[in-house]
């Protein structure tokens, strides 16, 4: 993320934030205003007519590479819908919610626009959980305040069963699990800690080391890679990506954690991790929901390469039912 900062002088207090942003950078400033990337004294400013005070810091937050994400949804992107919930087949490269530089190009905002165009009004959307930008698959929202509390509690207490598929480098053991610590590194990135360090306080306000637990099984062997089924029993940031890299088998396309950016002659635009299944008790009706999302095209193409050999051992591991 790039940023342009300006300390407001006394004369600036007579000028709107929108005009100030445009004067700082005529084209970029106008875009930043329109996309919600203008911050005044640490707070996002949506109204361009707002005026600041002398001494306050005006910041224009700009997208990585200077390119805004553009996202518009269609009926085919809806995986499930009822009176209280709606789920999307999330695509690679989709931001889930607002970023510091943009409130427009994300799944939450795009879903609101789609529902408003379809129904004439957008319901009060609430994100039930998070997925990384390049992770594909089931992304669940509530559309009614009646569902918010029970849904949040279900995710927080581990009552939602999640199954992921990923494509990794090398040949992992047929089946296994990883129990580790999880927290920030000195540079701010997420990392794996030894399990015995769970609960240790990290320096510089980094919180405490938390437990991370993932079960996995290989479903298919590829040429120098494998299709792996993962069940996260905890919900830590980048958990599956970190755990597979910790085992020496980073995800294809996951350059951050040591994965290759190309495989079998194909360039990989991001890490190949797919939220394939989400199983939960409906927060209002109490019925069991099994939400499933098919592989996106690139994932399906690579996982079905002719060199692959389906496993015959039938290795299985039990879902976490807590």
Two structure tokens written together for 171: 């040949």
DSSP letter (8 states) at residue 96 = S
pLDDT of residue 160: 96
Angle among Cα 3, 28, 42 to the nearest 5 degrees reads 40
- In CATH, which of 3.10.290.10, 3.40.50.2300, 3.40.50.720, 3.30.365.10 is domain 2-65? 3.10.290.10
pTM for the whole structure: 0.90
Instruction: Indicate left, alpha or beta for 16 from its phi (over 0: left) and psi (-120 to 50: alpha).
Output: beta
75-156 shares the fold of 2-65 = no
Place of tokens 């039912």: 321
**How far apart are alpha carbons 219 and 312 in whole angstroms?**
9
Domain spanning 75-156: which CATH class is it, in words? alpha beta
DSSP H/E element including 126? strand 126-127
Q: Which residues contact 67 (CB under 8 A, 6 or more apart)?
A: none
Q: Which residues contact 301 (CB under 8 A, 6 or more apart)?
A: 266
pLDDT of residue 27: 86
Q: Is 132 a catalytic residue?
A: yes
Domain spanning 161-310: which CATH class is it, in words? alpha beta
10-residue mean pLDDT profile of the chain (322 residues): values are 91 91 89 95 94 93 93 98 98 97 98 98 95 98 96 94 98 95 90 95 88 97 96 96 98 97 96 98 97 97 71 38 31
Contact 8, 1 (CB under 8 A): no
Ranges of each domain in the chain: 2-65, 75-156, 161-310
pLDDT of residue 143: 97
pLDDT of residue 186: 82
Query: Considering 132, 134, 290, 310, which one is annotated as catalytic?
Result: 132
DSSP letter (8 states) at residue 100 = T
């Amino acid at each position: 993320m790039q940023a342009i900062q300006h300390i407001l002088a006394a004369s600036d207090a007579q000028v709107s934030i929108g005009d100030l942003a445009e004067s700082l950078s005529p084209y970029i400033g106008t875009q930043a205003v329109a996309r919600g990337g203008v911050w005044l004294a640490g707070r996002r400013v949506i109204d361009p007519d707002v005026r600041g005070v002398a001494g306050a810091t005006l910041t224009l937050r700009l997208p990585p590479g200077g390119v805004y994400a553009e996202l518009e949804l269609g009926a085919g992107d809806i995986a499930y819908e009822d009176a209280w919930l709606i789920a999307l087949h999330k695509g690679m490269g989709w931001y889930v919610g607002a970023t510091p530089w943009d409130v427009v190009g994300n799944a939450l905002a795009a879903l609101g626009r789609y529902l408003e165009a379809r129904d004439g009004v957008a319901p009060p959307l609430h994100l039930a959980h998070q997925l990384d930008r390049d992770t594909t698959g089931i992304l669940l929202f509530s559309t009614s305040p009646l569902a918010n509390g029970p849904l949040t509690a279900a995710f927080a207490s581990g009552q939602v069963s999640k199954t992921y598929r990923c494509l990794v480098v090398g040949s992992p053991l047929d089946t296994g699990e990883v129990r580790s610590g999880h927290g920030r590194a000195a540079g701010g990135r997420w990392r794996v800690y030894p399990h015995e360090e769970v609960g240790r306080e990290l320096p510089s306000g980094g919180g405490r080391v938390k437990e991370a637990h993932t079960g996995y099984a290989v479903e298919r062997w590829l040429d120098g890679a494998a299709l792996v089924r993962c069940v996260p029993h905890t919900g830590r940031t980048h958990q599956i990506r970190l755990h597979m890299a910790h085992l020496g088998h980073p995800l294809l396309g996951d350059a951050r954690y040591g994965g290759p950016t190309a495989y079998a002659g194909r360039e990989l635009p991001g890490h190949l991790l797919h939220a394939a299944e989400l199983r939960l008790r409906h927060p209002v009706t109490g019925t069991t929901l099994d939400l499933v999302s098919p592989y996106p095209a690139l994932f399906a193409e690579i996982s079905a390469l002719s060199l692959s050999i389906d496993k015959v051992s039938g290795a299985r591991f039990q879902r976490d039912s807590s």
